[in-house]
A = this chain, B = another copy of it.
Amino acid sequence: MKLSTKGRYGVAAMYELALHYGEGPISLKSIAANQGISEHYLEQLICTLRNAGYVTSVRGAQGGYVLSKDPAVITVGDIITTMEGPIALVDCLLTEADRNSYCEKAGACVTRGVWAKVCDSINSVLDSISLADLCREEKN
């Protein structure tokens, strides 16, 4: 299991924005340079974040991107979910309805319990860490 660059770059970019929260817009170019990411590629990713309402763009010279919300209320889980879709290790865990329903397939149903536990554990870690937490860590 690997995390794709979508998720990693997404969190990296958001972290960069969080570091400069309140200092006006940060350009794509500086984020990309700082994190060593292709500018054009990052553009696509940050577009997803914008559509999800986590960042706001400022066009024109001296423009860039700004967090739409306070770093304390954006979690790593929010970002990962936006970039990679819901953390559902298997399809039958995608919706709440699925989780409560009974699986037809004999053995599959038993193993499903395992995947559910893993998903819950991943989510609880990701949701417990905010961008503000990351920034705080940097200072130490």
Which A residues contact B (CB, under 8 angstroms)? 1-3, 8, 11-12, 15-16, 19, 34-36, 76, 80, 84, 87-90, 105-108, 110-111, 113-115, 117-118, 121-122, 124-126, 129, 134, 137-138
Q: In the bound complex, how far is the Cα of B137 from the Cα of A107, in angstroms? A: 11
Give every chain B residue within 8 A of A117 (Cβ-Cβ). Answer: 125, 129
* Closest-CB distance, A4 to chain B (whole angstroms): 9
Selected contact of A121 from candidates B19, B84, B125, CB within 8 Å: B125
| Majority secondary structure, A binding face | helix
Q: In the bound complex, how far is the Cα of B35 from the Cα of A34, in angstroms? A: 49
Q: In the bound complex, how far is the Cα of B19 from the Cα of A2, in angstroms? A: 31
